Structure 1
Amino acid sequence: MLAILAAIVFGFALLIDFLNTNLGAPDLFNTHTLMLIGFLLLSLYLAGVGSGSRGGGGGRWYRGRRPGRG
C-alpha cells in the first residue's frame, strides 16, 4: 500500500514539474518536497512498515488435508 502511495506522489510531482506550477504555495508543495515524501513512503515500504502479518497467524498455514498424507 505504501508503494502505491509513493507511486501516486511521484506521479503527482512529475505532473507538477511538467506543468511548471507551484499550486499557489511555492514553499509548501514544490517538486522536491513531493519527491521527498515519495522517498519516505518508498523507504517505509521497503522497511516492511504497514505490511501486516504474512504468516496467517498460528503455525498452521494449510487448510484441509495436508498434502502427501494418505
Structure 2
Amino acid sequence: MLGLVGAALFFIAFLINAGNIGTNDVFTSTNLMLLGLTALALHMAGVGAGWRYRGRR
C-alpha cells in the first residue's frame, strides 16, 4: 500500500515539475519526491505489510 502512495506522490511531483506550476514553499515537487521516497522506504522495510483482520477461529 505504501508503494502505491509513493508512486502517486512521484507522479504528482512529476506533474508539478513538468508543468512549471508555481506552488507555495511547502507543496513543491522536491518535497513531494522526498515524501514519496519516505513512503517507498517504509514499504521496502515492511511497514504496513502485516495488517490483517484476526477473527474468531
Identity within the alignment, %? 42
Match of 1:44 in 2: 42
- Where relative contact order (Cα < 8 A, 6+ residues apart) is larger, the structure is 2
Instruction: Tell me the number of residue pairs that the alignment of Structure 1 and Structure 2 aligns.
Output: 53
The CA RMSD measured in Å over matched residues stands at: 1.6
Q: CA offsets per residue over residues 17-69 of structure 1, 9 Å max, x none?
A: 0110123x1x1111110000000000000000000168xx8xxxxxxxxxxxx
Query: For the pair shown, which has the larger CA radius of gyration, 1 or 2?
Result: 1
Q: TM-score, normalised by structure 2?
A: 0.84
Q: TM-score, normalised by structure 1?
A: 0.69
Please state which structure has a larger fraction of its residues in helix. Answer: 2
